[in-house]
Amino acid sequence: MPKQKSPSPPSSENFIIEQPITSTLELNFMPYAMSVILSRAIPEIDGFKPAHRKLLYTMYKMGLLTGGRIKSADVVGQTMRLNPHGDAAIYETLVRLTRGNDALLHPFVDSKGNFGKQYSRDMAYAASRYTEVKLDEICREIFRDIDKNVVDMAENYNNTLLEPTLLPTAFPNLLVTVNQGIAVGMASSVCSFNLREVCQTAIAWLKNPHHDIFKTLPAPDLSTGGELIFNAQEMEGIYATGRGSFKLRARWRYDKKQSCIEIFEIPYTTTAEAIIDRIVALVKAGKLRDINDVRDETDLKGLKIAVDIKKSADAETVMQRLFNLTPLCEAFNCNFNFLVDERPRVMGIAEILREWTHFRMGCIRRQLSHDIERKTEKLHLLDGLAQILLDIDKAIRIIRNTEAESDVLPNLMKAFKISEAQAEFIAEIKLRNLNREYLLNRVNERDELKNEIASLRETLESDENIKALICSQLKEIARKYGADRRTQIIYGQSAPAAPPEELVDDYNVKLFLSEHGYFKKISLVSLRSSSALYMKDDDKIVQELETNNRSEILFFSDKCAVYKTRVYDLPDGKASGLGEFLPNLLGTEENERIIYMVLANDYKGFMVFAFDNGKVAKVAFEGYATKTNRKKLINAYSDRAALISVNWIPDDRDFFLTRGTDKAMVMNTSLINVNASKNSSGVQVFTLRRNTALTLCQPVTEADSLSPEDAEYFRVDKIPSTGHFRAEKMKL
C-alpha cells in the first residue's frame, strides 16, 4: 500500500479574516469595557463595588455580624464562591475595608492583626492566615432587613448560590465611603464625608429639597485627617456637578526644644514614604537648606514624620516651603461617577441624595410589603384557629376518629369551612396547647395583627410616611455611629502657590502646536540630536515658539477661552513622539480646540483678532494678565462672528487681508484703535459685498506669495476700505 503524504500545514493566509475595525470593537472590545464598568471599577448606588459587596455578604452569611472573629483566610476562601478572581485580589479588598488599615472613616470589618496602613506605602499587611476579622457593628445598617426581600437576588457565576445585586444601606453610604476606580474610558473618584453630617443633610434634604447643603455638609472628611483648605467656588462646583478638586495639607506641630517639626496627619492621596523621599531629594539638591534630618517615627500610637531643622530657621517658613514642594499639600480630584440602573452617571450631592432616597424608599416598600404579607398569613391562620373555638371537642374528635392521616386536613376543612393552610396549622398544635387559655390568647392576637397590618399599609401607601421612617432611621444611625470630623476645615486661606521659579530647572525649549491640537515641548539639545519631527500622517505643525522652561504661556481656543499655564508644567517630549493632546493637558471642554499659543512673560504688545465679517479687533495684551493664579479666562475674544485668525504682535505691523479671491489689501494695525474690552467685536476694516467674507488676515512677513511691490500696490491708508483687485498671479 503506498505511503500517504501527510497534509501540508495550512498557510497563514487561511487564518487572516478581514473585518471592519468597528465590528472588532463592537464584538471584542465593547463587551470587555462594559464588563469592567458594570462589574468591577464603578461603585453603585449602595456605595459598593461588586467585589466589596460579595465579600461583605459572604461574611454576613457566615454569621460574622454576631459571632467572633475568624481567620481571614477562611473568609477569603468562602468569598471565592461568589467572586472567583483569586485569593490575593479578595484579600486586598478585605484589607482596605478593615479598621486596622485606616482607609475608611467607618470601616466595615473589625480586624485583629497587621493590615498595613493607608498612609504607608511600605508597611505591608500580614498574610491572611495570620489575621482575623468579623463584621463591624455598622454593618447592621448595611444589611438591615436584607432577609425581607428588600433587594433583588441573582445567581452567582456557577448558578449554585444567590447573592444580592445591591445592599440595602440604611444611610447614604456612597457619600460616607471613599471610593476610587478606573474603568475603560471612565473613572470614579469619590471622597468621603462625615457620617453624622451626611445623615443630617439627608434628613434636611428629605424635608426640604431646596435645603442649602453647605449648612449641614460643609466639606469632605477623610480618614487620614489633615487640613482642608476651603475654596467656596471649588466646593460649590463639586457639590453641584460632582467634578472638581480641593486641597488637603498635613497637620504638624513644632517641638522648640528639639528644633523638630512633627507631622502627624498627611493628605489622603499620599504616603509617608513619598513625602520623606521628596524631602530627601530636595535636601540633596540644595533646595531645602534649613533641614538637617528627616525620619519616619511612626509607631503604635500612629503616624509621625520628624523633620529636624536648624535652630536659626523659622518653622512656619520651612513648612510653607514643604507645602509648596512636597506631597504634604496635595489635591483630591473628585469625579462622583456611580452606576444607577446599570448606567454610569456623574452626579452632584443633591442628585446623589435624590437617587439614594429613591433606592432606599424602594427597599422600605419591599420590606413593608414583606411584613404585611407575613402578618396577613399569620392572621389567616389565627382566623382558622378562631373557628375551632366554637367547638374544640369537635376538632379533637375529628382528628381522633379519622383513620387515615391524609384525611385529617380534608375532614377539618369540611367541618369548619377553613383553608388547607388553616387546617395544617390547627393539626400541628401540640396536645398540651389545646387548652382554652392558650387558644384564646392566640385568637386575641388577631386584633393586634389587624392594627399592625393597617399601620403598615398606611405607611406603605404614603411617600411622606416612608420618608419619615427613613429620617428616624438616619437619626438613630447618626446617634449610634456618628463621630467628630477628622479633617479640619481651614477658611480664608489660599492653597500653597506653585513651586518658586528659582527651584525649577531652566533650559531652552521649542514648542510646537499641530493642526489637530497636539503639543510638543522639546529641549533644544534634544531637538538638535533628532533627525526629523514626527507627526501623524494627516496632521501638520501650525505654530512654533522658542522660549525657556520658566516662561508663562497662553493657549487660545475656538470657544473664546484662553488657558494659562507655565511651560514647566507641561511635559517634555521627543521629536519622535506624537506629542501631548492639549485638551487633556488643559482640561478643556468637549469639542474645544486650541488654535493659537503665545508667550506671556511681560504681557506687552497686542492681540489681533480678525473675523469673517470684515472686522478686526486690536486688544492690549496686558488685559490677559491676572493677579490670581487663574488657569482659564472666558470671553477672551468676541463670538459675534466667526474667527478667521489670531496673532500676537509686539508693536504695530502690516497685515495682508483678502476677500475671497477678488480683492486684497495691506493695512497697518496703527489704523485700528486699541480696544479696552477683550471681547470687543472690533472695527470694520474690509468693506464686504453681499455673500462675501474676509478669508485671510496674516502679517505681511508671513505672506510668502506677497512681494514688496505687491504689498505697496495693496496698501490702504484709511479703513474701512474696499481693497484692490488682485492680480492674476495673486489669485488662490
pLDDT of residue 15: 66
DSSP assignments along 242-276, one per residue:
SEEEEEEE-EEEEETTTTEEEEEE--TTS-HHHHH
* Side chain identity, residue 384: G
Residue 542 CB partners (closer than 8 Å, separation 6+)? 513, 514, 515
- CB contact set of 494 (below 8 Å; sequence gap of 6+): 229, 231
Beta bridge partners of 699: 655
Rounded to two decimals, what is the model's pTM?
0.67
Measured at the alpha carbon of residue 311, what is the angle toward residues 309 and 312, in degrees to the nearest 5? 105
Answer yes or no: are the C-beta atoms of 339 and 445 closer than 8 Å: no
Inform me whether the pLDDT recorded for 730 exceeds 90.
Answer: no
* pLDDT tens-place string over residues 311-326: 888 899 899 989 989 9
pLDDT at residue number 395? 83
* Cα torsion 656, 659, 664, 668: sign: negative
Which of 461, 468, 452, 467 has the alpha carbon at shortest distance from 372? 452
Task: State the DSSP code for 82.
Answer: T
pLDDT at residue 433 is higher than 80? no
What dihedral do alpha carbons 539, 545, 548, 552 form, nearest 10°?
A: -90
What value does the mean pLDDT take over residues 209-234? 95
Mean pLDDT, rounded, of the chain: 89
With 50 as the cut, is the pLDDT of residue 157 above it? yes
Residue 185: pLDDT band with limits 50, 70, 90: confident
327 — pLDDT class (breaks 50, 70, 90): very high
pLDDT of residue 657: 92
Compute and round to an integer the Cα radius of gyration of the chain. Answer: 37
What span, in angstroms and rounded, lies between the C-alpha atoms of 554 and 461?
60
Say whether 637 is catalytic.
no
Rounded to the nearest 10°, the torsion over CA 638, 641, 645, 649 is -40
Q: In the chain, where are the structural domains located? A: 46-169, 192-245+342-495, 251-327, 501-730
* C-alpha dist (Å) from residue 276 to 116, 227, 258: 18, 19, 19
Given this model, what pLDDT does residue 35 score?
72
Q: Give yes or no for residue 668 having a pLDDT over 60.
A: yes
Give me the pLDDT at residue 498, please.
44
What is the pLDDT confidence band of residue 1, given thresholds at 50, 70 and 90? Answer: very low
Domain 46-169: give its CATH code: 3.90.199.10
Question: What does CATH list as the number for 501-730?
Answer: 2.120.10.90
CB of 521 within 8 A of CB of 511? yes
Residue 608, H or E segment:
strand 606-611
Q: What is the CATH number of domain 251-327?
A: 3.30.1360.40
Q: How does pLDDT run across 96-152, given as a tens digit for each residue?
A: 999 999 999 999 999 999 999 999 999 999 999 999 999 999 999 999 999 999 999
- Is residue 650 predicted with pLDDT exceeding 60? yes
> Helix 349-388 to helix 436-460 angle, to the nearest 10 degrees?
150
Q: How far apart are the first and last CA of the chain?
A: 82
Fold classification of 192-245+342-495 (topology level) = Topoisomerase; domain 3 (1.10.268)
Of the listed 130, 157, 491, 507, which one is catalytic? Answer: 130
Give pLDDT, residue 665.
92
Query: 197-201, 409-413, 435-439, 459-463: which has the minimum mean pLDDT?
Result: 435-439
Over residues 280-288, the mean pLDDT reads 82
